[in-house]
Amino acid sequence: MQDIGEVVEIELVSFTSPWPPRAYRYEVRQNRLAHYFVARRRSPEAPEEEAEERDSGLLQWMQHWTHSTRTRRTSVVGYCGFWIAGDEAHISTIAVDPEYRRRGVGQLLLVTAIERAIQLNARLMSLEVRVSNITAQSLYHKYGFKVVGSQPRYYSDNREDALIMTAEHILSAPYQRLLQKRRKQLVQRLRPVPIAASQE
């Protein structure tokens, strides 16, 4: 709940029809089918040892990942959510702070959502994406999503069509291989650059 303010700041600069804060409050407090995640920037003042001790999941990499010394009021750099119904998990939203895009944060969020959906016994991930949103489509393609249909004039702001994309059989061995491969590449990418090297 305490992250919603920061999430909505990113929402406002990411979407032409942003969700209001009350929509996120509903999702977090009341929607039992909903699962939401935030990616955080590592706080520059956090001691190394403390970061080492944090959870062993991919989110730990997020905390190791940036050595930015800029002072910034916020610490949330991205968020994502899905709804689960039966064996289908539907991505409801994903966005990254424009200042932190193209560094793997979107992938970190997507992998986290897929892995959580798998833990909840989902077999299929689905989502809608604007026909014009090539950037997001490219992210989804990387994780095995394929276009399976479209929803004409789905978006009310400009009556743009939505593409429906799914990643099917996410429990299957081939999908698991793809996920592990992408996860490995992502961990490499999020690995912190040693400060000495980055100063050269």
Which are the catalytic amino acids?
128, 140
Q: Can you name the residues that pair with 84 across neighbouring β-strands?
A: 89
Total residues contacting ligand COA (rule CB under 6 A)? 18
* 129 near ligand COA (CB under 6 A): yes
Contact 82, 92 (CB under 8 A): yes
Report the residue number, 17 or 199, with the smaller CB distance to ligand COA.
Answer: 17
Sheet with 146-155, strands from edge to edge, namely 34-40, 76-85, 88-96, 124-130, 160-167, 146-155
Q: How far apart are CA 107 and CA 31, in angstroms?
A: 25
Report the residue number, 29 or 70, with the smaller CB distance to ligand COA.
Answer: 70
Q: Which of 3, 8, 9, 14 binds ligand COA (CB under 6 A)?
A: 14
Token output for 126: 């689905």
* 105 near ligand COA (CB under 6 A): yes
Q: How far is the CB of 40 from ligand COA (least distance, A)?
A: 14
Q: How many beta carbons lie within 10 A of that of residue 118, not counting itself?
A: 17
Site of interaction with ligand COA (CB under 6 A): 14, 94-96, 101-107, 129, 133, 135-136, 138-139, 142
